[in-house]
Every structure is written in C-alpha cells, then in structure tokens.
Amino acid sequence: MRSTANTRANCCIPSAASVTAWQTSSKRPEMLRQRIRRIVLGLSVAAALLGGAALYVADEAIEDAAINDMLARQMDTLLEAEVVPEPQEQQVSTLKFFRPALGGVLPEALGSLQPGITEPVEIHGEDYCVYMREVAPGDAAYLAYPVEFVEQRERWLWLGVSLTALLVFSITWIAADRTTDRALRPYLELLEQVRALDPNRRHLRISVSHADSELNLVVSALNGRLEDIERLIERERAFAAAASHELRGPLMVISAAGEMMRDKIDPASQRSLQRLERGARDMREILDALLALSRTRVSSTLLEIHLEELLPEAVEPHLDEDGAARIDWRLTPEVLVASPGAVRVVFTNLFRNALQASPAGRVTVTLEHGCVTVDDQGPGVAPAAMPHLFEPGFHAREGGSGMGLYIARVLADRYGWELRVENREGGGARATWRFRNASRT
C-alpha cells in the first residue's frame, strides 16, 4: 500500500477547501433546526409517556377505589333490605347478587371465594369482579360486577388520551418549528454576512439587527478578529511591497550589467553571461510568484507556457555536468496558462527534492496528459514524515529549510493544481504535479 501526501485547492480565495466548508456550513442551520425539533418533540413524547403512565396508574387506583366503594355500598343496601336473589336470568346485566342462605343457586366458580373483592371470575361465560362478604356463619353474600363495563370505560379513556397526545404532538411540532425559526433567524443573518465578506475589500465589519446580548458578544468578537486579520494582512502586503522594491533594484543592475558586457566579452564567456541573464530573469519571475502569496487572487500576468521547453530550462541553474547526465527527460508538448514564475517555483522544488534524495541515482521527469511526474531512486519518504511534507518548516532530511514544498503547495493551491508525493513500489519516491482541468477564475 502506498503512502501519499496530497494537496489540492482552487486558484483564488476562497479555496476549494473553504468552498467545501461553506457548502457544508450551509447545511448546518437546517441540521440544527432538525435537531432542535427532534429534541422538543422527544421531550414532548417523553412527557406524554410519563403523563400517560401517571394517568393509567391514577385511573386504576381511582377505578379500584370507586368499584370497591360502589360494591360495598350496594352490598350494604341489599343486605339491609334482606333481598331474596332473583333467578339468574332475571338479574340485571350490570350487577348480580347471590345469597344462598336466602335462596337461589350459587354458581360453582364462587363457592371457593374468600371474603373481599376477587380477581375476575367467569360466570356463565362472562368475566365478573366479585365482592364476597360473610353475613353470618354459613351465610355468605356475593355481588358480581361485569368486567366488560370497566374495560369499555378504559378503552374510551385511552382513546381520549391518544387523541390528546396526538393533538399535543401536532401543536408541539408547529410551535417548535416557529420557535426554532425565530431563534435561529439572527444567527442565519450573521452567517450570511460572514459568507458575503470579500477578502479583497477593507474595513468590513459585521452588524446585527436583533438586540440579543449573546449574539452581540459573538459579533463583537468576530469584528475584533477581522480587525486583527486586516492589520496582519496590511503588514504582510507592506513587507511584500518593500521586499519587491528592494530586490528588483539589484536584479535590474545585474540585467543592465549583462547587457553592457554582451559585446565586450569573448565568445567562450557568452554561455556564462547567458546563464547570468537567464538567472536574473528567472529571479524576477520567481519574485513575482512569491509576491503573489500576499495577494488573495492569482496574478493577472498569465502567459501561455510551453512546458516541454520551460522545465529543462528552469532546472539548468541547479545542475552541474554530472547532475545533467543523471536526468532522463520524457516530455511531450504541453501548454499551460499560468505565471512562469509560479511554474518554476513549483517544478524546481519538486525537482531539487528528487535530486537530493538520490545523489548517485537517476531522476526521471515525465510530462504527459496534463501531468508532470518526477521519479527518484532514493530511499523514499518515511511513512511518519509523509503527512507533514507540505507543512511549513518541515524537512524530511538534513540541510533543507522546510519551506520549498510548502511554497510550492501554496502556489499550487492558488492555481487549482494538485501536488502529490508517494513512495514507489520499486523503491524511491514519485512527486506528481497535475494541472489539467484545474479550475481557475
């Protein structure tokens, strides 16, 4: 399995990573709204369940107490009247009274009952709660109450509870939806203002129209950070402008001196003079590319670059005779619209790393299908170092500054190029620079 370090982004601010972050963040308010709704609805369901359970327990207790009281009173009334039980078929369907001592036939299921109210007992195919009382030795009275009547009342009760719960859920959902929208509206407005910030404009601040103390604290903190970032950017731009001015002066002197010497030196020295002039020109282009790091967009100075010509020329200052002999060029014609300085910086950093990694081996540069690969025959990159290759200040071997690949990555991000470093299966490392179909604005 290959270890890989990879970087890719768009060519201007915001980058592809930040665009993806904005797209993801745009979904978060809806996700937050759904979470709040679910929480409120969940609390409502829990409250309804607890209320229903409490209502069930209370109903059972009240119902048992009411039935017990009703049966006891009815029993007292019947015993005081010394009523002779009518035949079974003449008794009303709600209550059935049995007193064998005064006549009548006691159902077989009631013969073994103890005093008090019993669990449901089947009498002639129906379930009854039976209240049994010993009036005197050998004289017992039985009062039966149909269970169906109780169960019917319970069904109506639970139907009412269910309809009430459904109504509560509906009202709660509507209330949660409106309350959530009202609560999130100031934060959504704040989010839209942050999205609308243009990094190319100065003195941008955020304001809110809602008198929300907590939100005002957030806005105040954001505006404070905007001021800090603006001051930092101004310092960096001022430094970049000063560095540009100070560095361009010596380069112009070198270029002018080269032109003056061109007609005064012998032909044998012309090659060295050409390298000197080319180096001054390359430095100006590289300076332009590095100064672009202080801007939020790609430089408007874009040219059509024939890479099969520029790549060998870009690394010539870094090669001696021995080094040049160790390079295998496999180049097909490719045209890229970009800043020449940016191209030089990106490629030379990948190339120098490969050359340093294999001091005795060969380096193969391949250009085809919108992609440049640089293969070396070195030991490869340690797996622990692979995730950090493009971080500022990190270097996998002694002697490096740790800034080369970082600068190459930043420039690649600006143009939407992809940089990748991976270990090859046969040994050594491969650096890949892919630029075809990269988006640019």
Of residues 78 and 200, the one with the higher pLDDT is: 78
Q: Give the pLDDT of residue 153.
A: 74
The pLDDT of residue 89 is above 50: no
Largest separation between any pair of C-alpha atoms in the chain: 150
Question: What are the chain's domains?
Answer: 200-296 (1.10.287), 299-441 (3.30.565.10)
Bridge partners for 145 per DSSP: 129
Q: For the residues 93-112, what does the mean pLDDT come to?
A: 78
Q: Indicate the average pLDDT of the chain.
A: 77
Reported residue count of the chain is: 441
pLDDT in tens, 5-29: 665 444 443 443 443 444 444 455 5
Measured distance CA(94)–CA(69) in Å, rounded: 16
Give the C-alpha distances (Å, rounded to integers) separating 361 from 49, 80, 379.
Answer: 76, 120, 11
The pLDDT of residue 356 is 84
CA angle 102, 104, 108 (to 5 degrees): 120
Give the pLDDT mean for 294-311. 77
